[in-house]
Structures are given as C-alpha cells and as structure tokens.
C-alpha cells in the first residue's frame, strides 16, 4: 500500500527542506510528521500523536495551532533550527483533489525579521564563507532586518576567520559543502552557528546583481553571491531594502584576534559572557537601538587612520564641551524609532499603521535635532547638521494620512485620517450618517411604541435589529415589525426602513475598509521609495548617538582626549582600568603611569598574585582600543601611538574560563602573536609559560621575549612570577623591569597596586607570608629552604644539559663546557647539530614535527655522550 496523496505531497515538499522543520498547513494547524514530529514534540514539549497515512504503520505527527505558531517558531529558531512554512495556496473549497501547498517562507536563525525574535540592540547576521585553498577566505555577512551587508577578505587562514566571527552576532553561516570538515565542526561547536549550504552552480538573480557592484575581488564576489543566492531562495518575498555590499578593507582597522577580544572583554565579560563587566558596558550611553548597534560595530573595529580617529575625537570634543545642548540632543534622540529595521519591514511589507505613526513621530523630531546640532560651536558638529535630510515631505504624507490611534490590524479600517481621500470620506459619511439616523430612529421608535427599554443593536450574524424585552411584547406594532430572532428575555425585530438603511451602511463600511486597505498599501509603497533616504538618516542618527555617548561617558567618568604623537610611544599619566574602576564599589582605583617608547618598548612586570599585574596590562590595551574608536580615555594625560594589532596571551593557569587549559593552546596562541605582530603592535603576555614545569616555562618565556625584542620590536608587556627573568634587563636594551609589591600598613598586608620601577623583591612570597603574620620560625625555615633550592637548582642541571638561551650571542654554544677528551669527531657532530637546529623553521612546524625533531636530536646527543 502506498502513501495517501496528501502524504505524498508532504514527502515531496519535505525532500526540498531536509534540514528544516516543515510546518505543513492542515486547516487551522501546522502539522509535522515523521522525524520532524518526534523532534519537535521533544523540543517544544508538545504531544506526539500519529495518523493514518495509507501504509500499515501509523505516521508520527504533532501540530501547533496556526494562530499561535509564532512562539513555537521562535523557540525552534532560538535553538538554531530552521522552519519552512508550507501553506495551502488554493482555496480548499474549490480544489480538485489534494489542496495545492507550497513553502512560502523559510525562517532561519540568520534571516529572522519578526520583531519579537530580534534583540533591539543587537544585529542579527547571516554570513557566508568561501575559500578555494583553505587559507584565504571570502567572507560576507548581512543583517536582513537592517539591510546592511559587509564583505571582507581574510588572508591569514582559519584563525582569522574564527576571530572575525567570534562575539559577532552571527547566527547562521552559508557555506559550500566542500569546506574542510574540521572547519565545519569549528563553526558548529566553537561558534555555535547554524550551517546552511548552497551549491556553487547557481546564478545570482538579475535584480540582485547591483548589490555586488562595488565588490571587485573575485573571492569576495563569490562569498556575496552565496549569501544573496541563499537569501533569494529562502525568503521568497521582497528584499528591496538590502543595501549594496560594503567591502571592509581589514588593513584599515586594528586587528583584534579572538583571544584578545575575549581576554580584553571588549563586548562580553569572560566570566559570564554577557555585556555586564565589558568595555562596551562601560561606554554604552547610547539612547537608540540603532546607536547601540553602531557602537558595538565601532568597538569591534578600531580605526588605524590618525585622521579618521581625530575626526571622531573632534566631534566627541564638540559634544563634550556643551553639556546642555548634548542633553537636549539625548532627549530628542530618545523618541527616534528604529528607522533601520523599519525600512526592512517596509520592504518586506509587514509594517502596520502604528509603525508608520511612529515613523511620523520620529521624523517630526528631526528638524529640532538639526537645529540643536547647529547650536554647537564646533564646526564638525554643524557639518553633521548639514548632512541631515529631515524628509519632511514623507512626514507630511504620513501626517495627513495615518490616523492618530490606529489599530494593529490593517484590514479592519480606522487606520487613515478623514480628509485624506475623498471617496473614503464619502463612505464614511454614509456610514456615520446612517449611524446617526439609527440613533434617531431608536428615539423615535421609543416614543411611538412607548417602550422605554427599546433599543437598536447590531451583530454580525443578524445585522441591525430592534430589541424589545419580553415584558413589553404586547406594545410591539406587529404590522411594521418583523420578527428576526428570539432570545430568552427578549425578541428582536427588523423594519423595512431599517433594512434599507442597514444595506447602505454595511455597504459603505465594507467599501471603506477595503478602500482603506488599498490606500494603505499605496502609502506603504510611497514610503518604500524613501528607504534609501531613511537608511541614510538612520546612519547619521546612530552616528550622532554614538558620539554623544562617548562624550557623555567621557565627562561622567573623567576621561581625557588622547593625542597621537609621531613617535611610536605611549605616555599615560595616571592611567586607569575603565571597567575595574567602575565595578569597584567602596575603595577607589589606584592610577598608574604607563611609559613605552622606542628605546624601552618592553616592560617586564613582577609582583605577587593579586597585586595588579594583569589589570595594568589590560588597561593599556583597553585605553588604546578606546582611543582608536574615537573615545576619550581614563587617564590624566594620554599621548598615544596608533597600534595596528593587539595580541593578548594568558598563561594557562590563569585561563580558567575557556577550559582550554593546555599548555599547547598557550603556545599556539603565542605562536600566532609572534607570527603576525609588527613593531606597531601591542603584545600582552600574561604569565606565559605558566602551564608547564618551571624550567620549561622560564626558558620559553625568556626565548619568546628575546625573539620579540630582537625580531619584532612590538610594544610588549610581560608579567611573570619567574623572578629570574628580571635579569634579562641587562641583556635586552629595550626591556625595563617594573613591579608591584605588597606592603605592610599597621601590621596588615595590603596591595597598594602601585607600579614601581625595577624588579620586585626576590622573596616577596615569603615577605607576604611574614606580613600575614606566620610564625617567625616558619619564615626563617622558608628562607633557608629557598636558599637551598636556589643553589641546588644551579647544580641539578649538569653542564652538558645546560642550554644557554641568550640568543643575543651571535654564535650559539650548545654545550657549555667541552669535555677535555672530546674527539674531533664529536666536535664535528656538534657542529652538525647546531647547523641543523639553525635551519629549523620552528614557526612552521607542527607540534608533532617538533617532537620528532627533538627525539632525533636527543638520540644523536645520547650517541655522542656515549662516545665521550
Ligand atoms: P595579578 O595579575 O597581579 O594577580 P590582578 O591584576 O588580577 O592581579 O588584580 C587583582 C585585583 O586587584 C583586581 O581584581 C582588582 O580588584 C585589584 N586591583 C588591581 N589593580 C588595581 C588598581 N590599580 N587599583 C585598585 N585595585 C586594583
Ligand atoms: Mg594576573
């Protein structure tokens, strides 16, 4: 036995939407079948039933009522699923055979438009990725709700893709099936994205070609095509609000890789992965949702052009200097609606009269904002005013058309104003007159019949009627009144006169509702023509919002405008950590100076736990990010350089949150920094080398510092608890020791969090213990053990094993002391080994390669030792 025709129809449609829940419309329900039903019943906690489908086994089934489907859809989307909505596309009454059904929309995490599924202050991105060699990637992402699309090329391999995606509100990514499996897994597991596929044969539909006009690079074009094709095939509705793809030249922005974004807590805190406790949390004083979204975008891409940075800073200064005017602007901005998302909904055809009313109200604020901007003294702000097109003709249109208190529905009338359309006015006149006439008739009939409780009513089934209570029935003039309906306590009648009027009124009402709907669609089309202008306005408004936010937060938190000097140096007086100073409640943050210049570009920071090393390092990075997005910074004075990249590495033991506490990860991260940093970069290495044994860790830490010092010259802050490393200052000219120490005040150990020049006291641990009041005998004993350990450690390494790590010396000596009877042969082998090591390209090796090479090396050395 085969499936019933309807099940065959279902299976045919489902075959095209394998990775989605298919919501199959059956009367008032959306039904799901087979695996879909089982999974949906589980995810949505609804009852799983079954139905006969023509075969012996019953088919698993579950369903949701169509009028409440939205919440179920939302729940599935939030879990990362896709939902295909399959509707009946012909009238069941007239259909021959099975009603025709089609998928009318595919709702996916990256393409939602529905207001209640979107976060106001967050973008919602759909991305696409394309690569031919798994090294260079074309990447594009779009926010359907706002219509913006960005495209960028990434040449630094997979980590750069992950960094780009990390912490960005990307929900779904379109890829080609041939993308490397491990990459796919990363996208699902690490980035928690929904994957969608397109095949690369498909052609971009004509109307979408203009969207990629400015994109010249082939790889990027391809990524954009994948993105737009997917939209075209899934959305099946107007997406005219999509703006041209903007190519983002990544070289124009500071690079913040994934680890830095996370460690510096730019937009999310590490502990709870939420906005609270992040830099964004501190500096977000925007008042519009558009502004909040833009601020986040700016923060994720600090600028590199000094000119652009200064332009933003000039505008912030302008807002900063005039408090009263700024407050007025803030007040006006508060009543501006989300114009970006409104534009998207206009294009989609799902705005109602209330949305347009809000648009009108927003537009009516624009002239005053323009005027307020003109009241600022700074020309850069007046320039902003000039750029604003207040779109007053659009406002006028909405003003005269849209009613002041329209209902949500656009099909039930009362959405347009009187006087907007003559025909509509006529219908309304008939209808209203009719209603007046009925009121008059009621009065008249009361008089004529002497029935005080007589009333005229209306219901949808019976139309107008005259109602007389049972007690008064004997007064009814039966010659004129015709019985229509009997209730328990009353009878309802109609008269010829009333019947005629009813027909007129109902016709007018019906026509007026129809006409209103038609007129509304026309108005919506007119608004549609304004979408580009509205998007431009939205862009300006959100920019003004972000700038005022910077000014507001700078004033409130006592920030200072940074300056940029020619020399690549940092001179911060009384610098503070913007977030920690905010979360600290009772006590206040201790400011410290930070100095880095061309001569001394590395700082080695020593000091006990909890003294403030990590804080000091991060506050420098955050200050630089703030400055390069155009915000003032937390310091008394700030002279900065423009940094091209920031790298942040945290020693494994400190990196509690990510769960990736392996030393390997730490080394991979360090490797990444070393590979990509330049002399214009900032590197923060916080307790690197901590995740392995002391000697390993120390050796690596030292080697990494030397490498950066000698080969990169990046500004570097390095914190360590290996006190031994402080002696590096003698060899590395560009390095300076600084430290934080614990102090005793009234017999108690306190951290003053003050940075001092020079290295920390060697035995600060024991010192702290002493301050903490541990018995003196214990302290003495600890000191004794320390000295013993120190001498012993010197001895425990046999001369043969002792590797001198200072690569400053041109000629590297592998063996410190040569055995007196070493033969020429051994010497030659030694030279060979040295030559071999010299040839290694450590940075290109996989860890496994390195292990193998070390193993070989050890074998050779063992052989040599045996012969000595
Ligand atoms: P370390 O890295 O040396 O172990 P942290 O930088 O993590 O220390 O700082 C530990 C705590 O000390 C911080 O969470 C903060 O509460 C406090 N702290 C650090 N620096 C300062 C400062 N400059 N002023 C006030 N409190 C600070
Ligand atoms: Mg620390």
Domain boundaries of the chain, sorted by first residue: 5-107, 115-252, 284-389+537-556, 422-525, 563-757, 782-867
State the pLDDT confidence band at 24, using cuts at 50, 70 and 90: very high
State the pLDDT confidence band at 202, using cuts at 50, 70 and 90: low
Question: What percent of the chain lies above the pLDDT cut of 90?
Answer: 60
Please check the confidence at residue 207 and state whether its pLDDT lies above 70. Answer: yes
Instruction: Check residue 251 and report its DSSP letter.
Output: G
**Can you tell me which atom of ligand 1 is nearest the CA of 687?**
2
| pLDDT tens digits for range 504-536 | 888 999 999 999 999 999 999 999 999 999 999
Nearest CA to ligand 1 atom 17: 612
Average pLDDT over residues 851-867: 74
> Where is the binding site, in residues?
607-614
Closest CA relative to residue 700, chosen from 715, 716, 718, 713: 718
Report which of residues 498 and 765 the model is more confident about: 498
Average pLDDT over residues 283-291: 97
Closest CA relative to residue 75, chosen from 39, 99, 102: 39
Please check the confidence at residue 134 and state whether its pLDDT lies above 90. Answer: no
Asked if residue 583 has its Cβ within 6 Å of ligand 1, the reply is: no
Residue 335: strand, helix, or coil: coil
Asked if residue 185 has its Cβ within 6 Å of ligand 1, the reply is: no
| Ligand in nearest proximity to the CA of 651 | 2
What is the structure's pLDDT at 190? 87
What is the structure's pLDDT at 824? 66
From ligand 2's centre to the CA of 62, what distance in Å? 54
What is the structure's pLDDT at 634? 98
From ligand 2's centre to the CA of 446, what distance in Å? 89
Residue 25 CB contacts under 8 Å (≥ 6 apart), including other chains: 31, 66, 85, 86, 87, 88, 101
Please check the confidence at residue 795 and state whether its pLDDT lies above 50. Answer: no
Specify the CATH number for 5-107; select among 1.10.1760.20, 3.40.1170.10, 3.40.50.880, 3.30.70.1560.
Answer: 3.40.1170.10
H, E, C per residue of 109-173: CCCCCCHHHCCCCCCCEEEEEEECCCCCEEEEEEECCCCEEEEEEECCHHHHHHHHHCCCCEEEE
Residue 512 CB contacts under 8 Å (≥ 6 apart), including other chains: 413, 424, 427, 428, 431
Please check the confidence at residue 721 and state whether its pLDDT lies above 80. Answer: no
What is the structure's pLDDT at 781? 87
Radius of gyration of the chain (CA): 37
State the pLDDT confidence band at 341, using cuts at 50, 70 and 90: very high
The preferred substitution site among 587, 605, 615 for testing ligand 1, maximizing ligand atoms within 8 Å of CB, is 615
Report which of residues 262 and 172 the model is more confident about: 172
Nearest CA to ligand 1 atom 23: 590
Please check the confidence at residue 798 and state whether its pLDDT lies above 50. Answer: no
Looking at the DSSP bridge assignments, the partners of residue 572 are: 594, 638
Class of domain 115-252: alpha beta
What is the structure's pLDDT at 815? 43
**Can you tell me which atom of ligand 1 is nearest the CA of 686?**
2
422-525 and 563-757 share one fold:
no
From ligand 2's centre to the CA of 476, what distance in Å? 94
What is the structure's pLDDT at 780? 86
Asked if residue 764 has its Cβ within 6 Å of ligand 1, the reply is: no
Looking at the DSSP bridge assignments, the partners of residue 560 are: 633
The preferred substitution site among 264, 610, 651, 717 for testing ligand 1, maximizing ligand atoms within 8 Å of CB, is 610
| Ligand in nearest proximity to the CA of 615 | 1
DSSP secondary structure string for all residues of 711-746: II--EEEEEES-GGGGGHHHH-TTEEEEEEEEEEET
What is the structure's pLDDT at 522? 96
State the pLDDT confidence band at 819, using cuts at 50, 70 and 90: very low
What CA–CA distances, in Å, run from 792 to 786, 789, 797? 10, 5, 9
Distance CA 38, CA 26 (A): 18
CATH architecture of 563-757: 3-Layer(aba) Sandwich (3.40)
Please check the confidence at residue 503 and state whether its pLDDT lies above 70. Answer: yes
Report which of residues 793 and 862 the model is more confident about: 862
From ligand 1's centre to the CA of 337, what distance in Å? 42
Question: What percent of the chain lies above the pLDDT cut of 70?
Answer: 91
Nearest CA to ligand 1 atom 18: 612
State the pLDDT confidence band at 459, using cuts at 50, 70 and 90: confident
Please check the confidence at residue 171 and state whether its pLDDT lies above 90. Answer: yes
What is the structure's pLDDT at 805? 37
Q: Which fold has domain 284-389+537-556?
A: MutS, DNA mismatch repair protein; Chain A, domain 3 (1.10.1420)
From ligand 2's centre to the CA of 521, what distance in Å? 61
| pTM, two decimal places | 0.82
From ligand 2's centre to the CA of 582, what distance in Å? 19
Tally of residues, the chain: 868
Report which of residues 630 and 823 the model is more confident about: 630
From ligand 1's centre to the CA of 614, what distance in Å? 7
Looking at the DSSP bridge assignments, the partners of residue 59 are: 51
Distance CA 786, CA 61 (A): 73
User: Mean pLDDT score of the chain, rounded to an integer?
Assistant: 87
Distance CA 3, CA 52 (A): 9
Q: Is residue 767 a contact partner of residue 742, using CB atoms and an 8 Å limit? A: yes
What is the structure's pLDDT at 829? 76
Strands 463-469 and 490-494: antiparallel
Closest CA relative to residue 329, chosen from 552, 109, 50, 52: 552
Nearest CA to ligand 1 atom 9: 612
Closest CA relative to residue 739, chosen from 603, 588, 579, 851: 603
What is the structure's pLDDT at 785? 83
Of 36-45, 542-551, 561-570, 652-661, least confident by mean pLDDT is 652-661
Distance CA 563, CA 636 (A): 12
Written as six digits, the tokens of 862 are 């063992």
Asked if residue 609 has its Cβ within 6 Å of ligand 1, the reply is: yes
H, E, C per residue of 42-55: HHHCCCCEEECCCC
What is the structure's pLDDT at 90? 87
Residue range 422-525, CATH number: 1.10.1420.10
From ligand 2's centre to the CA of 785, what distance in Å? 26
Please check the confidence at residue 349 and state whether its pLDDT lies above 60. Answer: yes
> Could you report how far apart the first and last alpha carbons of the chain are, in Å?
87
Looking at the DSSP bridge assignments, the partners of residue 26 are: 29
> Where is the binding site for ATP, in residues?
607-614
Strand order through the sheet with 463-469: 455-459, 463-469, 490-494, 482-486
Nearest CA to ligand 1 atom 6: 612
Written as six digits, the tokens of 269 are 């805190």
Q: How many CB atoms lie within 10 A of CB 274?
A: 11
**Can you tell me which atom of ligand 1 is nearest the CA of 618?**
6
Please check the confidence at residue 818 and state whether its pLDDT lies above 50. Answer: no
Of 355-369, 536-550, 686-700, least confident by mean pLDDT is 686-700
Q: Is 701 exposed, middle or buried (0-12, 13-18, 19+ CB in 10 A)?
A: buried
Asked if residue 614 has its Cβ within 6 Å of ligand 1, the reply is: yes
Distance CA 801, CA 83 (A): 64
Distance CA 677, CA 155 (A): 15
**Can you tell me which atom of ligand 1 is nearest the CA of 576?**
23
Q: Is residue 569 a contact partner of residue 731, using CB atoms and an 8 Å limit? A: no
Q: How many CB atoms lie within 10 A of CB 84?
A: 23
Average pLDDT over residues 289-308: 96
Please check the confidence at residue 808 and state whether its pLDDT lies above 50. Answer: no
Distance CA 457, CA 469 (A): 13
State the pLDDT confidence band at 198, using cuts at 50, 70 and 90: confident
Average pLDDT over residues 575-587: 89
Closest CA relative to residue 396, chosen from 370, 366, 352, 422: 366
Distance CA 246, CA 150 (A): 5
């Amino acid at each position: 036995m085969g499936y019933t025709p309807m099940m065959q129809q279902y299976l045919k449609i489902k075959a095209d939407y394998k990775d989605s829940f298919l919501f199959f419309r059956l009367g008032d329900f959306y039904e799901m079948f087979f695996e879909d039903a089982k999974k949906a019943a589980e995810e949505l906690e609804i009852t799983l039933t079954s139905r006969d489908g023509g075969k012996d086994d019953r088919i698993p089934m579950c369903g949701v009522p169509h009028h409440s489907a939205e919440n179920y859809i939302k729940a599935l989307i939030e879990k990362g699923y896709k939902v295909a909505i399959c509707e009946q596309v012909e009238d069941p009454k007239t259909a021959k055979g099975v009603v025709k059904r089609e998928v009318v929309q595919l709702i996916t995490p990256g393409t939602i438009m529905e207001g209640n599924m979107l976060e106001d202050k967050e973008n919602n991105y759909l991305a696409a990725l394309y690569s031919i060699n798994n090294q260079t990637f074309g990447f594009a992402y779009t926010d359907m709700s706002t219509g913006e699309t960005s495209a960028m090329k990434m040449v630094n391999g997979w980590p750069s893709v992950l960094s780009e995606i990390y912490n960005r509100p990307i929900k779904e990514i379109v890829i080609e099936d041939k993308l490397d499996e491990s990459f796919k897994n990363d996208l699902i597991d690490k980035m928690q994205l929904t994957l969608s596929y397109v095949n690369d044969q498909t052609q971009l539909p004509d109307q979408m070609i203009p969207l990629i006009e400015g994109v010249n690079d082939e790889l990027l074009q391809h990524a954009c095509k994948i993105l737009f094709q997917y939209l075209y095939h899934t959305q099946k509705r107007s997406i005219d609000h999509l703006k041209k793809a903007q190519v983002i030249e990544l070289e124009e922005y500071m690079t913040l890789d994934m680890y830095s974004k996370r460690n510096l807590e730019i937009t999310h805190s590490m502990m709870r992965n939420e906005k609270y406790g992040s830099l964004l949390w501190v500096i977000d004083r925007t008042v519009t949702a558009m502004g909040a979204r833009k601020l986040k975008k700016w923060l994720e891409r600090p600028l590199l052009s000094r000119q652009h940075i200064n332009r933003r800073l000039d505008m912030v200064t302008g807002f900063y200097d005039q408090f009263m005017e700024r407050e007025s602007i803030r007040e006006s901005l508060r009543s501006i609606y989300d114009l970006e998302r409104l534009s998207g909904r206009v294009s989609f055809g799902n705005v109602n009269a209330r949305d347009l009313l809000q648009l009108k109200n927003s537009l009516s604020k624009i002239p005053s904002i323009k005027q307020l901007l003109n009241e600022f003294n700074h020309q850069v702000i007046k320039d902003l005013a000039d750029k604003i097109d207040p779109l007053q003709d659009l406002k006028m249109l909405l003003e005269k058309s849209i009613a002041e208190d329209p209902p949500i529905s656009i099909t039930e009338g009362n959405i347009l104003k009187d006087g907007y359309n003559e025909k509509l006015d006529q219908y309304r006149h008939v209808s209203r007159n009719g209603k007046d006439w009925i009121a008059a008739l009621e009065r008249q009939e009361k008089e004529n019949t002497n029935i005080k409780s007589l009333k005229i009513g209306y219901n949808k089934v019976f139309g107008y009627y005259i109602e007389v209570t049972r007690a008064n029935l004997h007064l009814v003039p039966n010659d004129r009144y015709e019985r229509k309906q009997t209730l328990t306590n009353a009878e309802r009648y109609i008269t010829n006169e009333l019947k005629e009027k009813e027909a007129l009124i109902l016709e007018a009402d019906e026509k007026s509702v129809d006409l209103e709907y038609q007129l509304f669609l026309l108005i919506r089309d007119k608004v549609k023509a304004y979408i580009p202008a509205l998007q431009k306005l939205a862009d300006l408004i959100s920019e003004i919002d972000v700038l005022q936010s910077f000014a507001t937060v700078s004033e409130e938190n006592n920030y200072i405008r940074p300056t940029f000097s020619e020399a690549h140096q940092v001179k911060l007086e009384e610098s503070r950590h913007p977030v920690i100073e905010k979360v600290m409640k009772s006590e206040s943050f201790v400011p410290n100076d930070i100095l880095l210049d061309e001569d001394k570009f590395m700082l080695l920071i020593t000091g006990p736990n909890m003294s403030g090393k990590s804080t000091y390092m991060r506050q420098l990075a955050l200050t630089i990010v703030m400055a390069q997005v155009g915000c003032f910074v937390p310091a008394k004075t700030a002279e900065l350089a423009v940094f091209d990249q920031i790298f942040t590495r945290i020693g494994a033991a400190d990196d509690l949150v990510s769960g990736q506490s392996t030393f390997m990860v730490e080394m991979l991260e360090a490797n990444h920094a070393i590979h990509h940093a330049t002399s214009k970069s900032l590197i923060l290495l916080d307790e690197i080398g901590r995740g392995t044994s002391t000697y390993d860790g120390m050796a690596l830490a030292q080697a990494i510092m030397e490498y950066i010092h000698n080969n990169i010259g990046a500004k570097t802050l390095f914190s360590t608890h290996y006190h031994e490393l402080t002696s590096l200052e003698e060899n590395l000219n560009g390095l300076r020791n600084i430290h934080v120490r614990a102090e005793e005040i009234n017999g108690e150990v306190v951290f003053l969090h003050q940075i001092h020049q020079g290295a920390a006291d060697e035995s600060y641990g024991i010192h702290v213990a002493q301050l903490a009041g541990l018995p003196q005998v214990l302290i003495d004993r600890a000191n004794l053990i320390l000295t013993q350990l120190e001498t012993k450690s010197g001895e425990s390494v046999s001369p043969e094993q002792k590797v001198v790590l200072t690569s400053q010396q041109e000629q590297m000596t592998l063996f410190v002391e040569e055995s007196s009877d070493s033969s020429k042969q051994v010497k030659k082998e030694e030279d060979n080994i040295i030559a071999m090591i010299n040839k290694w390209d450590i940075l290109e090796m996989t860890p496994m390669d390195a292990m193998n090479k070390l193993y070989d090396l050890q074998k050779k050395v063992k052989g040599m030792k045996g012969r000595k």
